[in-house]
Amino acid sequence: MTRFERGYRAALADVTKLLKLYGDENMTICGDNILMDPLLHGEAWTEENVKRSADCSVRSTIHSSQYHASEHLLAAIAKMPRRAA
């Protein structure tokens, strides 16, 4: 194995680790935003709570999509050749 191939494999391993961390962190944030939603916890349907709930929903959706994007990138990396061309 050449030095280039070792570097290529190491880079794939590093990117994979970072994407897993990124995905896990985004899913944690997504869950945290759901837990902070006042309407899901039975609080009153006031104008302020509706706005806070909408904000939580938007943030949860953003972090969920970032999690899923990282999963798709991990799947694409898994299909990449382990040997550099």
Share of the chain above pLDDT 90, in %: 86
Q: Is the pLDDT of residue 68 over 80?
A: yes
Rounded to whole angstroms, the Cα distance separating 15 from 21 reads: 10
Q: What is the average per-residue pLDDT within 15-36? A: 98
Name the helix (H) or strand (E) containing 77.
Answer: helix 47-79
Do the beta carbons of residue 60 and residue 30 sit within 8 Å?
yes
Q: What is the average per-residue pLDDT within 9-23? A: 96
Global pTM reads: 0.84
